[in-house]
Amino acid sequence: MAVEERDPYSGWMTTGHEWNGIKELNTPVPRAVWFFLGLAALFSLGYWILMPAWPLGRDYTRGLLGLDQREIVAKSIAEAAADRPWLGEIANKDFPVILADPRLMADIRQTGRTLFGDNCAACHGQTAQGGPGFPNLTAGSWLWGGDPADIAETIRVGINSANPDSRTSQMMAFGRDEILPRTDVEAVAAYVRSLSNLRPAGTQAQIEAGKALFAANCTTCHGEDAKGNQQVGAPDLTDRYWIYGSDLQTVFATVWGGRQGHMPSWQGRLSPTDIKILALYLTDLRKRGS
């Protein structure tokens, strides 16, 4: 029943079939299709011969080139390491020596920036200036010491982290745990704010009362002069840098509910050299900032 006919436009015959008005021409497959199909098959064949390709039960054809992606990665990692001889110097030299070496410090600035961006910026911000709950690392006094070795140790063990050597710090919940009544918390909060001349200030009576309360409750950690204590990670309360915020509401919340910041430990996640680079990077950032 197939009735072939000639398509007047192309000049080709149809196959003679028709489906609801649709016909098909019997045009031969263009040569180019066969050519490229052959070419692609040949390429594949060549590739299979040269590269790992076909499974053989428990093994596979290794390919004439003997290439293996794991070996290639291992090799390129070794090559990359060879490209960074300065890393060895960082590992072996002491902090002051490195800090005095402009060539090494140029490497620290480049590499530290990306290391910081990939690992630390999520909490401390791209420019390390922190945000609510996360300290500014470029200015203000240090919680745990600003010596490069101290910084490296903070990074290694973390703060209130799961690392057994973790630095631990604890700002108690004076209000919630009923150590101080509400009026006292308000008074001491007013006093703390007065230390850095913040407005609106509390009443004079509050500040007087707060001063006494501070001396009785807070100086063990924050110090007689409220300038903090790096032994327990207590911040300086007299400067203009705040971890959690300086408005009355936030200072009240800090004293009422306490704080326990969490900084992860990087031991095992970053190499000792990377930690050293970050400590140097932060030291340098602060030096250049001031």
Partner 1 sequence: MIAELTKNERNGALVILAVLTVVGLVMAVAGYADPFGIHGGLVAIAALAGIFAVISGYFAPEPTLARFGEYYDTPSKIGIGLAMAWAVFGLFVGDWVAWLLAYPNATFDAGWSSFGRLRPVHTTGVIFGFGGNALIATSFHVMQRTCRARLPDQLTPLFVLFGYNLFCILAVTGYLMGLTQSKEYAEPEWYVDLWLVVVWVTYLVLYLRLLARRREPHIYVANWYYLAFIVVVAMLHVVNNLAVPISFYEAKSYSLFSGVQDAMTEWWYGHNAVAFFLTSGFLGMMYYYLPKRAGRPIFSYRMSIVSFWGITFFYMWAGSHHLHYTALPQWVQTLGMTFSLMLLIPSWGSAGNALLTLNGAWGRVRDDATLRFMMVAAVFYGLTTFEGSFMAIRSVNSLSHYTDWTIGHVHAGALGWVAMITFGSIYALVPWLWKREGMYSPRAVEVHFWLALGGTLVYVLAMWNSGIIQGLMWRTYNDSGTLAYSFVDSVVAMRPYYIARAIGGLMFLLGAIVGSWNIWMTVRMPAPVPADAGGDQPAIALQAGE
Binding site for ligand HEC (CB under 6 A): 119-120, 122-124, 133-135, 137, 142-144, 151, 154-155, 159, 169-172, 174, 188, 192, 214, 217-218, 220-222, 232-235, 237, 242-244, 251, 254-255, 259-264, 266, 278, 282
- The Cα 152–Cα 113 span in angstroms is 16
Nearer to ligand HEC, 134 or 206 (CB): 134
Q: Give yes or no for a contact between 109 and 254, defined as CB atoms under 8 angstroms apart.
A: no
Q: How far is CA 116 from CA 100, 125, 175, 270, 290, in A?
A: 22, 9, 37, 11, 20
CB 290 → ligand HEC: shortest distance, Å?
15
174 binds, options partner 1, ligand HEC, none, Cβ within 5 to 8 A by partner type? ligand HEC
Q: Where does this chain touch partner 1 (CB under 8 A) — which range of 121-129, 192-200, 231-239, 278-286?
A: 121-129
Is 11 a binder of partner 1 (CB under 8 A)? no
22 binds, options partner 1, ligand HEC, none, Cβ within 5 to 8 A by partner type? partner 1
Which of 84, 182, 262, 287: binder of partner 1 (CB under 8 A)?
84
Subset of residues 13 to 32 that bind partner 1, contact rule: CB under 8 A? 14-15, 17, 19-30
Q: Where does this chain touch partner 1 (CB under 8 A) — which range of 2-10, 214-222, 229-237, 239-247?
A: 2-10
Q: How far is CA 98 from CA 54, 109, 128, 229, 274, in A?
A: 53, 12, 22, 28, 14
Burial string for 110-126 (b: 16+ CB within 10 Å, else e) reads: ebbbebbeebbeeebbe
Q: Which of 148, 151, 163, 112 is nearest to 267 (CA)?
A: 163
265 binds, options ligand HEC, partner 1, none, Cβ within 5 to 8 A by partner type? none
- The Cα 74–Cα 50 span in angstroms is 21
Backbone angles phi, psi at 167, to 5 degrees: -70, 140
Give the interface size with partner 1 as a residue count (CB under 8 A). 55
CB 76 → ligand HEC: shortest distance, Å?
25
Is 40 a binder of partner 1 (CB under 8 A)? yes
Backbone angles phi, psi at 15, to 5 degrees: -80, -15
113 binds, options ligand HEC, partner 1, none, Cβ within 5 to 8 A by partner type? partner 1
CB 254 → partner 1: shortest distance, Å?
24
Site string for partner 1, 44-63 (x = CB under 8 A): x--xx--xxxxx----xx--
User: What ranges in 93-200 are assigned the alpha helix state H?
Assistant: 95-99, 102-119, 121-124, 148-157, 182-195
- 176 contacts: CB under 8 Å, gap ≥ 6: 256, 257, 258
Give the footprint of partner 1 on this chain (CB under 8 A).
1, 7, 9-10, 14-15, 17, 19-30, 33, 36-37, 40-41, 43-44, 47-48, 51-55, 60-61, 67-69, 80, 83-84, 86, 106-107, 110-111, 113-118, 121-122, 126
